[in-house]
Structure 1
Amino acid sequence: MLAASWPSPAGFDEYALTFDRQRERRLLVIPALFDEANKLRRFTVETMRRLDAAGIDTFLPDLPGTNESLDWPFEQDLAKWRAAMAGAAQHFGATHALSIRGGCLVATVDLPTAQYAPVSGAKILRGLLRAHLMQKREAGVHLKMEDELAEGRKEGLCMVGYDWSAQLIRDLEAADPPATDLAIAQPQLGGPGLWLRAEPSKDGKQSEALARIVQEWLV
Structure 2
Amino acid sequence: MTRTEYLTYDVNGQHEHCLRFGTRDAARTIIIIPPLFDEMNRTRRMLVETMRALADLGIGSLLPDLPGCNESLADISKQCISDWRLAVNDATTQLKPTHIASVRGGTLIDDVADIPILRLAPVKGASLLKTMLRSRLVAEKEAGITATIDSLMASAKSGFLELSGYNLSLEMVQSLQDAIPSEHCRFQQIMHAEIDGSPLWLRTEPQDDARMSLALAHRLDVWSATCAK
TM-score range, shorter chain: over 0.9
Q: Does structure 2 conserve the Cα–Cα contact (< 8 Å) formed by 1:153 and 1:170?
A: no
In structure 1, what is the equivalent of residue 202 of structure 2?
Answer: 196
Aligned-partner Cα distance in 1 for 2:157–2:222 = 42
In structure 2, what is the equivalent of residue 172 of structure 1?
Answer: 176
In structure 1, what is the equivalent of residue 102 of structure 2?
Answer: 99
In structure 2, what is the equivalent of residue 213 of structure 1?
Answer: 219
Shifted more, 176-185 versus 96-105: the winner is 176-185
Task: Report 1:9-20 matches (<5 A).
Answer: 9-20=11-22
Determine helix, strand or coil for the equivalent of 1:8. Answer: strand
Aligned residues: 219
Q: Does structure 1 conserve the Cα–Cα contact (< 8 Å) formed by 2:198 and 2:209?
A: no
- Displacement after TM superposition at 1:90 (Å): 1.6
Shifted more, 178-187 versus 120-129: the winner is 178-187
- Displacement after TM superposition at 1:153 (Å): 5.4
In structure 2, what is the equivalent of residue 186 of structure 1?
Answer: 192
1:138 pairs with 2:114:
no
- 2:111 maps to amino acid: T
Please list every run of 5 or more consecutive structure 2 residues that lacks an aligned counterpart in the other structure: none
- Displacement after TM superposition at 1:8 (Å): 2.8
- 1:72 maps to amino acid: D
In structure 1, what is the equivalent of residue 56 of structure 2?
Answer: 53
Could you give the per-residue CA deviations for residues 53-83 of structure 1, whole angstroms, max 9, x where no partner exists? 1111000000001112111111101111001
Aligned-partner Cα distance in 2 for 1:41–1:154 = 32
Q: TM-score, normalised by structure 2?
A: 0.90
Aligned-partner Cα distance in 2 for 1:30–1:172 = 16
Aligned-partner Cα distance in 2 for 1:109–1:66 = 20
**Counterpart among 106, 119, 123 of residue 119 in structure 1:** 123
Could you give the per-residue CA deviations for residues 161-200 of structure 1, whole angstroms, max 9, x where no partner exists? 1010111100111111123511111111134411122211
Q: CA RMSD in A?
A: 1.5
- Displacement after TM superposition at 1:210 (Å): 1.1
- Displacement after TM superposition at 1:9 (Å): 2.1
Aligned-partner Cα distance in 1 for 2:183–2:218 = 22
Q: Does structure 2 conserve the Cα–Cα contact (< 8 Å) formed by 1:6 and 1:91?
A: no
Aligned-partner Cα distance in 2 for 1:27–1:3 = 15
**Counterpart among 79, 86, 91 of residue 88 in structure 1:** 91
Please list every run of 5 or more consecutive structure 1 residues that lacks an aligned counterpart in the other structure: none
Q: TM-score, normalised by structure 1?
A: 0.94
Q: Does structure 2 conserve the Cα–Cα contact (< 8 Å) formed by 1:156 and 1:167?
A: no
Could you give the per-residue CA deviations for residues 108-127 of structure 1, whole angstroms, max 9, x where no partner exists? 22121111111110110011
Q: Does structure 2 conserve the Cα–Cα contact (< 8 Å) formed by 1:121 and 1:173?
A: yes
1:4 pairs with 2:6:
yes
Q: Does structure 2 conserve the Cα–Cα contact (< 8 Å) formed by 1:25 and 1:96?
A: yes
Shifted more, 164-173 versus 152-161: the winner is 152-161
Q: Does structure 1 conserve the Cα–Cα contact (< 8 Å) formed by 2:5 and 2:21?
A: no
Task: Report 1:70-85 matches (<5 A).
Answer: 70-85=73-88
Aligned-partner Cα distance in 1 for 2:173–2:194 = 31
- 1:189 maps to amino acid: I
